[in-house]
Every structure is written in structure tokens, then in C-alpha cells.
Amino acid sequence: MTRTWVPKGSRTRKIKQGQFIYSYIYGASCPKTGDSFGLILPSTNTDCMQTYIDALSKHIQKDRYIALIVDNAGWHTSKKLEVPDNIILIPLPPYSPELNPMEQVWQWMKHNYLSNICFDNYEDILDNLTKAWNAFANNIELVKSICKREWFNI
């Protein structure tokens, strides 16, 4: 039960939703080519990160390598993570999300597609996440403009 706004002198209470349903996008983008790869997964943990980097590894062109910038989340730095040979993880310094270009991608997606929405169910969440990611990933010039950093020369 929770309190709610009601006329003065009233003490009405109503039932509130106490649980939340989450889903997460794991994503990477190349600021030079505009290529992006994302995967929607149900949680943030080492198993999901492993699933993502394995799929990303298969997405990478043969004889190519990528440097994947990661923050210090436990699932990014876990000793249990088996990083494929064609991926190199580049950890950011602690407390520096502004250095990770993907943080601006998440902000763009929230601002343009995912804010002020009530989702009907989990499938609705997945549909909206997919639409938001595809709108970003299919716009190569947008990918390049959001992810490019002048100080990072590639």
C-alpha cells in the first residue's frame, strides 16, 4: 500500500506496483565505420557478458580485431570471462563514464525512444528496446557522430 494525492481531509491509500522487470542492451559501435552490434539480454552478469562477447566475436570480420572499451562493472572484469582472441578489452579508469562513448548512445536511446513510457509486458519492453537500438545502429552517421572522440585517433 502507498499514499496518494487526494482531496484535503481524505486519507486514501492504494496498491502500488512493487516489482520491476528489466532487460539490458549490450552494445558496441565503431566510430570509424559506423558498424554497431547489440544484443538484448535479461540481466547484467558474467554469463550474459560472455554470451555477448561470443556473439560479437562472430560478428567481427575475419582477420579483424576490436578494442572493446568497458567500465569496471564486475561482469566486465570477471576472471571467469573468456575473451575471444579477436577482442581486446580496454578498461576505463574508475568513475569515468564520460570516457565511454556508449554512455551517450544509451542517453540518446532513452531521450528519443525509451523515456516516459509505460510498458505493457516484457515483450513490449523487448520490442521498444529493439526499435531504439535499430534506429541508432541503422543510422551510420549518427553512430559515427555519437561515438567519435577527438582524443582517440583510429
Domain extents for the chain?
Answer: 23-146
- Alpha-helical (H) ranges within 90-137 are 101-109, 122-137
| CA nearest to 17, candidates 130, 120, 144, 101 | 120
* Beta pairing partners, 66: 87
Q: Report d(CA 19, CA 56) in Å as an integer.
A: 32
Evaluate whether 56 touches 28 at the Cβ level (below 8 Å).
yes
Residue keyed to cell 556473439 = 55
Q: In terms of CATH, what superfamily is 23-146? A: Ribonuclease H-like superfamily/Ribonuclease H (3.30.420.10)
| Cell numbers for 15 | 496498491
Evaluate whether 88 touches 68 at the Cβ level (below 8 Å).
yes
- Chain-centre distance of CA 111, in angstroms? 14
pLDDT in tens, 107-147: 999 999 998 787 888 999 999 999 999 999 999 999 999 98
| CA nearest to 146, candidates 101, 112, 100, 79 | 101
pTM assigned to the model: 0.81
106, pLDDT greater than 70: yes
pLDDT in tens, 33-82: 999 999 999 999 999 999 999 999 999 999 999 999 998 888 888 999 99
Residue keyed to cell 559501435 = 29
Supply φ then ψ for residue 146, to 5 degrees.
Answer: -75, -40
